[in-house]
Amino acid sequence: MSPSVPLREVTGQPAELLQQIGADVSDLYRALANNPCFLELWIKVGWGIRQQATTRRSLRELMILRCAHIQDAAYQWADHTVIAKVAGVTSAQIEAIPNWRESDLFDVEETSALALTDDMIRGHVKDETLASLEERFQPSDRIELIMTAGFYCMVPRVLDALRLSVDDGAALDTAERPCEPRC
């Protein structure tokens, strides 16, 4: 299947941003380059979540993988399984993502974050889920988790509409670069 929009060269401010953060130019960025303003917004939000969050990277990667699994996003799954392993998520945890509720491989923070992810994908966050998050995370951390789930629930829909397939090798290059918090 071919992309639903032309894959363009990334130029201007978006290209400078990708160079600054050390990101490869993936087919997703090349597709979004049809609208440079929106590509720039995408980069700032997506990489802001990756680089400026102070919650555990492994926790957020579990959430991202859950979004990818539920929404059948092979592109997102391929990229983030590699990134998750670099962040400390075990292969066993990755394999347990489909049935995380029945697994004993996730700590209480991870189960709270995965429940949030599931609720956000369904379109309604339960009061119990919010209460669980409140017990475990400060308000700033909850914002990070909510924004992570929200953004990465959107990513599969965008990938699907753009008809993008997995970029061979792109995940390894990006995953090997550490993403340290900036705030």
Backbone CA torsion sign across 9, 50, 133, 110: positive
Q: Is the pLDDT of residue 171 over 70?
A: no
Domains delineated in the chain? 12-51 (no CATH), 55-175 (1.20.1290.10)
Confidence of residue 167 (pLDDT cuts 50, 70, 90): low
Percent of the chain with pLDDT over 70: 91
Q: What's the gap between Cα 162 and its chain centre?
A: 17
**pLDDT tens-digit map of 28-71:** 999 999 999 999 999 999 999 989 999 999 999 999 999 999 99
At 109, the amino acid letter reads E
CB burial of residue 100 (10 Å; 0-12, 13-18, 19+):
buried
CA distance between the termini of the chain: 41
In the predicted model, what is the mean pLDDT of the chain?
A: 91
The first and second tokens of residue 63, run together, are: 């959430």
From the CB of residue 41, how many other CB atoms can be counted at a distance below 10 Å? 13
Are the CB atoms for 167 and 7 separated by under 8 Å? no
Q: How many beta carbons lie within 10 A of that of residue 58, not counting itself?
A: 17
d(CA 70, CA 149): 12
The percentage of the chain sitting over the pLDDT mark of 90, rounded to a whole number, equals 87
CA distances from 8 to 13, 32, 105 (A): 14, 8, 42
Comparing 78-92, 107-121, 134-148, 154-168, which segment has the lowest mean pLDDT? 154-168
What pLDDT, on the 0 to 100 scale, is given for residue 1?
Answer: 78
Which residue in this structure is represented by tokens 């990277």?
Answer: 57
Which residue, 181, 173, 178, is CA-closest to 79? 173
Cα separation, 155 vs 162, in Å, equals 11
Residue 165 pLDDT: 82
